[in-house]
Each structure stands twice: as C-alpha cells, then as structure tokens.
Structure 1
Amino acid sequence: MDISLTAWVLTVVGLSALIAVDFFFGRKPHEVSLREAGTWTIIWVVLAILFGIGLWLFGGGQPAGEFFAGYVTEKSLSVDNLFVFVLIMAKFAVPPAYQARVLMIGVLIALVLRGIFIAAGATLIAHFSWVFFIFGAFLIWTAWKLIREAHAEAQGKEEEAYEENRLLKLIERRVPSTPEYHGTKLTIMENGKRLITPMLLVMLAIGSTDLLFALDSIPAIFGLTQDPYIVFTANAFALMGLRQLYFLIGGLLQRLVHLSYGLSVILGFIGVKLLLHALHEYGVHVPEISIPVSLGVICAVLAVTTVTSLRASRKQREQERAGAGAAASGGDSGDAQK
C-alpha cells in the first residue's frame, strides 16, 4: 500500500494525541477500577476496528485483512506478555496506585522500540529476500521454545518468578538507591546524595522486557504483511490498550493455562508461512498461505485455546475444592474418634 509522507505524519500525530489523552486521564496515581479498565479497553478495540474499516474503504480488502490479522496476533502476544508484567510488579512490590503509571511508561518504551525494529526490518526485507528464511526459522524455534516452557510449567519444573537481567543487577549494585517508593519520582535527594527509587528500576525492567518481546512480535507480523505502515499501526493499536487490559483481565491471566500452547501454534504457523514466502521469492513453486486463511487460523487457535484453558482451570479448581473437602472431612472424623 502506497502511503504518502503526509499520511504517515497524520497517523503518528493522531496516535500521539490518543496516547496524550490516555496519559491525561491516568496522570494522577490511582487504583484502576474494573469499570475504568473495561471502558478504555472497549474504546481502544473500537478505534482499532474503525481504523481497519478505514483501511478497507481507502485501500481495499487486502490491507484491511493484513491489519486485522496483525492486530489480533500482536494483541494475543501482548496478553502473554502481561504474565511477565505481573511478575515484575510483584518482584518490585509496586503499589497498586502506581502500577498504571509504570505500564504507561512501559507502553511508550515499547512503541519506540518497535518503531525502530519495524524500520530496521522493513529495510532488511526491501534489500535482502533471504531475511524471510531467518525470520521464519526464528519463529519456529520460538514456537518450540514456548512449548517446552509451557510443558515445564505444567510439570512444575519451572519456578514462577521474575529474574532480573544483568543490566538491572549491575545498576542496583553500582548506583545508590532507596528501598522505598516516593510517589512516581524516579530519583530523590537524600542527605545531599542523589538516589534512584524502585520506580526507576521497575520501569527499566519493563523496558528491557519490551525489548525481548519485540524480537518475537516483529518477525511474526512481518510474516503476515510486509507493509511498514500496517506493521506499525497494528503494533500501536495492540499496545495502546495493554495498560487497561492488564487491570481488566489480571485475574483471568492465571486461568489461561493453555495460552502458551496456542501462541506456539500461531508463531509456528506464521514461521512456516514465512518460509514458504521465502521459497516463492527465490522462484520455487510452493503454495502460499493467504491472509484470509491466516486470519482464520489465528482466530480459531485463540478461540480453542481460550475454551480449553477455562475448562482446564475450572476442572483444577473443582479438584482442589474436592481435595480440601476430603481433608476437612478426614480431620472431623479424627476429632470424633478422639
């Protein structure tokens, strides 16, 4: 799709205005209610749908289909990322009133990083067709890695805890810090000495995590479309509702026990699609997977994953209640015999 510089500028300005509005309403530290989170989540989803309809009206069905496929994929990957955000918040004991601000800064960092990666990816693809082989192989390897991690978690072999990376550990060792939060301040002056606060550390943790997430998500969406404009806007709309989604489905995240399996299928599918496209670029006659098929597969996998996850979670809760009831009955019987 041929996008003029004016359209690019208007899009970036429009998205920046939306982010500014979101930041304005969330500027004061407060605990985000389910009503607030639900309202903003609906607003962001509706805006993404309206943008996709606009692409369909002005560009046709192909770019609109690519946008929706990319948006759904990036949104599902973002939900998986929320698991790590939950662990980071717990690790740094972020007060509920400050979590919205941390997530807002994290989203801004993610947008900047993904913008850089999108520009780099688009440049590589435009000049080197063999990049598709690397992207495809990387996604298939990531899919296999997700399956192994999900299996390890199911077997109880992986401890659910956030491990700080070397950069954070180095900063904590070398830079004077304070253990207490001081509102949303990143640094404070204490006894004539500049100290960093846990707020700065948690934002660095979120930002460095965003960097790792971008390594998976950017190749995935380039497997659905090579249009930088669609890649950027799909990522932007998927990320902008992430903050509210964190509070809306925070409790539901623990029930999506099969999400990693579903995402591994999606990433593996897109990886195969990329490899087929790469072979096609080099003149090998292989079938290519269309956008409608891709969108259908992605939506079907997410629907099946959600249903099976909720059923498995419900079954596990019933077993836990039954076990607790049996233990209580056994204790009562023992007391009666005494």
Structure 2
Amino acid sequence: MHVTPLAWGLTIVVIVALLAFDYFFHVRHAHVPTLREAAIWSSIYVGLALLFGVVVLICGGVTMGAEYFAGYVTEKALSVDNLFVFLIIMSSFRVPREDQQKVLLFGIVFSIFARTAFIFLGAALINSFAWVFYIFGLILLITAGNMLRPETEESHSADNFIIRIAKKFMHTTEHYDGDKLFTIENGKRAMTPMLLVMVAIGGTDILFALDSIPAIFGLTQNVFIVFTATVFSLMGLRQLYFLLDGLLDRLIYLSFGLAAILGFIGVKLILHALHENNLPFVNDGEPVDVVEVSTALSLSVIIGVLIVTVIASLTSQKGRAQAAIAGARHHAANYVDLDYTADADERERIYSKLVKEEQQLKSLDPKFKKMVREETALLDLIKRAHADHDAFLNR
C-alpha cells in the first residue's frame, strides 16, 4: 500500500504532539512518578500504539497490519531489554530520582532521531542492494549469540570512551545542579554529570539502533511501518521504566527470549536474501528456491517466545532469588547515597522496598540462601542502610 504524504504528515504531527505533551505536563517539573501514574500513562501509550495498529489494519489491509504489530511487539521487547542498560547507566552516574524522567525523555527523543536516520539509510541500501539482507541477517545472528553470554554491570559501564574524552577536555563537576547541563563552580563554567549521562544514554541508543533496525526490516520493508512501529515502541518507555522498577531484575530469561527472536528473524532475513539473491558467487547469481517465512508465522513466534520467557522468569525460584538479591543491592545502594533523592517520601519508599526484599531473602529455599551468604558486600551494604535509616529517624 502506498502511504500518502498526508498520512506521513499527520503521523509526524501526532508524534511531536505526544512528545511535547510528555515534556510540558510531566517532565518539565522534576518529580518521582508514582506507581499509579506510571501504570496509567504506560497503558495510555500502549493503547495509542494498538489503536494506531487497528487504523493501519483497516486502511492498509491484513498484511500491513500484521507487519505493524509484529514490528511493534519486537521493538517493544527490545526496548524493555534496553531499560536494563539505562538503569545501570543512571546508577553509575547516581542520577537523582527526581531527574531520571528528563534523562529518559532525552534518550527517547535521541532514539527517535537516530533510528529514523538508520531506517531511511537501511531502506536506501535495501532498495539498491539486495545483498544487504545477508548483512542484516548476520548482524542479528551475532547479536543473538552475544545475548546468550553472561553480562555484568561493568560491560555496560558508563565510563566509556566518549565520557573519558569529555572529562579530559572539559571542566566537569562531580555534583548535580538540578537538571542543568552546565553550572558555575569556583567561578568557572563546568559541565555537570547531567550532560555526561545524556551523552552516555545517546551513545548506547546508537548501539541499540544497530540491533533493532535490522530486526524490524526482517519483518517488513515498508518504511512507514518500520518508522511507526519503532517510534510507538519508544513512546511510553519513560513511564514503563518506573512501572517495571523492581520487576526488571526478575526477568532473568528475557535475554534468552530476545536471542531466540533475533536469531529467528536473522534466519528469516537470510532466507529472504537467498530468495532475492543476485550475488554471482551464490547459485551463479540466481535466486535460490527456499521457504519464505510469512508475517503471520513471525508474529506467532515472537508473541509465543515472549509469553514463554516471561512465564518462565516469573515462576523460576532461581529468578526470584536473583531478583531479591539484585533489588536489595539496588535499593540499599540508593538509600545510603544521600544524593539519590531529596524527597523524604521517596527515601521511605526505597527503605520499605529494601525491608520487603530482606524478607524475601529470608524466605528463600536453603539452596538459594547460600547465594545470599556469599554476597558479603551486599550484607554490609544492607547493614549500613539500616544504620543510616535509624540515624535519619533519630535526627
């Protein structure tokens, strides 16, 4: 189906309006979103994405609608995985809880611009060179393999090359000044950590685009569908971050599910490349008669894998243990960090979560309690958090 300039224009206007609304009504004034606020707005953005999909289904037909939903679900799943990295980066920079919304919104806007550029570049390459599908397929297979390798927080350290260069050539301060990017320290203009964390988020967004754009091109080559599915998957990511706080650590098998999905799409891309083959050293430059994977099958596999992954993660006893350990470490570290928040209610919320996670650690099966006993640094951190809380109450 040909998408008219009017449809493109209306879509872009809606996206810009949603981003402007998000900034002026939610992000401009620093605050910590409540769980209710995050849940409501996450539901609204998901609902808008689904409503748009229905419009595509009605106006563009079943195939176009199925391609949109397959792309949206895949990109949404990848964006949830990206939240893990955002959490690590913001923890590394000790971003105050009240200002994390602005960092996330910046990341979303940067992602939209970066991925739009990659989308049109990818579309141009595909239209000119059919063999690009081989490269996209190989990228996804390599990415799927990398996802199966265990990762540590150090592998996503915020102290990357760009940050080191910035610190070397520009005067930086160790402290935040609200949400300002620059401040005055000792009479000199200095760069705040807020600018550095935005640079780190932007850098990781570019790396994410290198995975996500080939993935969605494996499901559809319709540029309008690729663009809208990608953008709508990013909309609401800020609210989702606060909604899934504490649940992210529980999804221990998400990387395996995403690896399976990317591997599946990678194979689909290579099969499509063989079907459209014009490389002279492959089958004498003639197309290869291979099976092509339908959009309906792709959508079924993607949804099926995600359902199995989430259920397996949430019902796993090992996952429960790992989530409790990671959550206790995260909330204990935030509590002892006096720069984490200036909101007394937020500090109490974090402490309550820490106490709840301690109870979960104590209720674990004996075979998993060994994991807790081996975390000596964590136990010391929890003791320090309790001591700080007692001091806070006795002020």
Q: TM-score, normalised by structure 1?
A: 0.91
1:160 & 1:105 partners in 2: Cα distance? 23
The match for 1:106 is 107
The match for 1:16 is 16
1:305 & 1:169 partners in 2: Cα distance? 37
1:276 aligns with 2:271: yes
Counterpart among 292, 314, 321 of residue 320 in structure 2: 314
The match for 1:305 is 309
The match for 1:253 is 248
Q: How big is the shift at 1:109?
A: 0.4
Q: How big is the shift at 1:309?
A: 0.9
> SS at 2:173's partner residue?
coil
Task: Encode CA deviations 1:161-193: one digit per residue, 9 max, x unaligned.
Answer: 624221111101221011111111101233442
Distance 1:117-1:160 versus aligned 2 partners, 3 A rule: closer
1:230 aligns with 2:225: yes
> SS at 1:88's partner residue?
helix
2:300 & 2:117 partners in 1: Cα distance? 29
Does the CA contact (< 8 Å) of 2:274 and 2:290 recur in 1?
yes
Task: Encode CA deviations 1:234-270: one digit per residue, 9 max, x unaligned.
Answer: 0110001111110000210000000000000000000
Could you list the runs of 5+ residues in structure 2 that have no partner in the other structure?
278-286, 325-359, 374-395
Code of the residue aligned with 2:71 in structure 1: it is G
Distance 1:253-1:114 versus aligned 2 partners, 3 A rule: same
The match for 2:237 is 242
Q: How big is the shift at 1:6?
A: 2.0
> SS at 2:245's partner residue?
coil
The match for 2:78 is 77
Distance 1:248-1:277 versus aligned 2 partners, 3 A rule: same
> SS at 1:305's partner residue?
helix
1:167 & 1:95 partners in 2: Cα distance? 22
Moved more, 257-266 or 25-34: 25-34
The match for 1:2 is 2
Task: Encode CA deviations 1:199-233: one digit per residue, 9 max, x unaligned.
Answer: 10011111001000000000000000001110010
Does the CA contact (< 8 Å) of 2:218 and 2:265 recur in 1?
yes
Q: How big is the shift at 1:315?
A: 6.3
1:161 & 1:212 partners in 2: Cα distance? 12
1:214 aligns with 2:209: yes
Q: Count how many residue pairs are aligned between Structure 1 and Structure 2.
A: 322
State the percentage of identical aligned residues: 52
Code of the residue aligned with 1:73 in structure 2: it is T
Task: Encode CA deviations 1:294-324: one digit per residue, 9 max, x unaligned.
Answer: 0000000001111111122236667863449
1:319 & 1:125 partners in 2: Cα distance? 52
> SS at 1:189's partner residue?
strand
1:24 & 1:319 partners in 2: Cα distance? 41
The match for 1:200 is 195
Code of the residue aligned with 1:41 in structure 2: it is S
1:18 & 1:161 partners in 2: Cα distance? 30
Does the CA contact (< 8 Å) of 2:361 and 2:369 recur in 1?
no
The match for 1:333 is none
2:361 & 2:93 partners in 1: Cα distance? 33
Could you list the runs of 5+ residues in structure 1 that have no partner in the other structure?
329-338
> SS at 2:183's partner residue?
strand
> SS at 1:180's partner residue?
coil
1:188 aligns with 2:183: yes
> SS at 1:195's partner residue?
strand
> SS at 2:52's partner residue?
helix
1:90 aligns with 2:96: no
> Which structure has more RCO (C-alpha within 8 Å, separation ≥ 6)?
1
Code of the residue aligned with 2:9 in structure 1: it is V
Q: TM-score, normalised by structure 2?
A: 0.78
What are the within-5 Å matches in structure 2 for residues 121-132 of structure 1? 121-132=122-133
> SS at 1:178's partner residue?
coil
1:36 aligns with 2:37: yes
1:158 & 1:170 partners in 2: Cα distance? 21
2:11 & 2:236 partners in 1: Cα distance? 17
1:315 & 1:114 partners in 2: Cα distance? 36
The match for 1:286 is 290
Distance 1:176-1:287 versus aligned 2 partners, 3 A rule: same
The match for 1:56 is 57
Task: Encode CA deviations 1:28-48: one digit per residue, 9 max, x unaligned.
Answer: 000111111111100011001
2:66 & 2:121 partners in 1: Cα distance? 24
1:21 & 1:319 partners in 2: Cα distance? 41
> SS at 2:189's partner residue?
strand
Code of the residue aligned with 2:22 in structure 1: it is D
The match for 1:334 is none
Distance 1:263-1:38 versus aligned 2 partners, 3 A rule: same
